[in-house]
Structure 1
Amino acid sequence: MGFRSVLCVTGSDHSDKDVKTVAGLCAEVGAYLSVLVMSPPPLVMPSPLLGDGIPEWPRQRAPAIARLEKRYRQIETFSQDMASLEKTSREIQKLLRATSLCYDVDTDYCDEADVGDAVRQRAHCTDLTIVGPALLNDNDLGPLVINGSLFDTGKPVLVVPKGAEATLSPRRVLVGWDSRVEASRAVREALDLLSRAEEVRVALVDPEATCTGNGAEPGADIAAYLTRHGAQVSVDRLASAGKPVATVLAQHAIDTSADMIVMGAYGSRRLRERLFGGVTRWIVGKPPLPLFLAR
């Protein structure tokens, strides 16, 4: 099962680099591209009306004038944001018309609390959401997009950091494995990538042989599963030597010349933003490799 429909989310104030990156990946595998352009949270305009629908006129002119001036600034900001949103949408459509892709471009201007729902609605009907460098570095919009696509739909997310040579046909893939359901989901969602890769290395950090977890031979079960699907698999059992698991995996990715890392995304609802922050911190100072996440 390949990726036939891909979602790209970008901000109205972002460059077009994320869209170009995702368009290139879609062209590589012949996938349909859905682009969602989102604007910053809109103005909040609480209604000044009383129960009878008649506005309460302040007793002094100064507060009334100050309120009207504030409302005017809000409306002006709203108009500017909408103009920026439409301008970005037109530019992206012009960019994509020059390609051979099938695509659609949609816009959304919603409250911060509704960003996740807007993304979830689109991600439900796609196979993969791709997060590019601009969105990854947007601390306001990025976590909300991750939440809406990864946590609320169960669909995978491909994180492409700055400088990464992204591909949906990687030759060498490193799988971070710990026998948890999230890791299993990541492998299942990436199965098409893994079965077509020249080399798949399943990496376990400080694995323990147990009857219920990793089994008597840690990594053997998932290696057998991948082999049945045509993947060329080897198992690497790594010692952490007191280092964080992410650091060990990153170094192993360098040592094995991996093109992509596949791993499960962990964290409860309360830890969602912490997960996103962890992903961004994990990428900083590490090799610029695409990170395939599923939960």
Structure 2
Amino acid sequence: MSGEFNAGLEAHLKGGLTTVCHAWAITRKDGVVFAFTDHDLPLRFAGFEFRADAGLSALALAQSTGLSVDNTEALGALSDVSLREDEIEQGRFDGAQIQAWLVNWADTSQHWLNFRGHLGELTRAGGGFRAELRGLTEALNRPLGRVYQKPCSAVLGDRTCRFKLTQEGYAQALPVQTVTDARRFVWEDFLSYDTDWFTRGRLEMLDGPATGLWGGIKSDRIIGTARVIELWQPIRGSVQSGMQIRLVAGCDKRVETCRLKFNNFANFQGFPDLPGEDWVVSVPSSSNVNSGGSRR
């Protein structure tokens, strides 16, 4: 979306001979900020310091007034001093906020915010990357609303669930003992929780190159004296023995789990008494329960 056009910049553009360039700022979800310009010297304005090291350059900036996705792309170079390939691979730039300006490099008070949105799909090749830029109207294309279903629709610990994961017994920090392919974790004599306690929960990295990354837990089993936890997908970063992780209890969204495991039934966001699809064939019966389902 476009910002208010700067009067000074407008006058400068109408003068014929211009000294303008582009500038971009990327703000990741973890708060890390990257700012670049295609000018040959660094610039400072809008609270950012823009580096002049070819971190990003625009291919096209086509915006529309409807709800269609803006045809907007950018090219960038991968390097240790700008955007690193391993951080893109780890997903640290997924959904990052991006702002783009047209600025008079001779007088940086003359600048215009001509795009604001977030990073979409990123592809990497030949030491560089291509990023899809999605405008603010992209969010309006997503279906929203409440789904009426028996399972709970909340995420454990969110503002609708309201369960405090800081309560004792629902999260455990400990070092990695044995790890295979950043996906299968094994601990000896870690039996203080029931089997499946962490199934559908989270494994969060607390230190090392993968700090801040997490994976969904597919299974939590006890085999002999060992606890084996397997993730749905590998952690997208280096994971080694001795690194600190945090295990968060899992929730299968059932009303029984909410009431018995978390004692949080008052905040259950499902509809456990919602009739099933075959309720229309239910008829009274004096001999047994006739719910419309199979009698076997």
TM-score interval, smaller chain: under 0.3
Give the TM-score taking structure 2 as reference length: 0.20
Bigger proportion of residues as helix:
1
Write 1 or 2 for the structure with the bigger share of strand.
Answer: 2
Larger radius of gyration between Structure 1 and Structure 2: 2
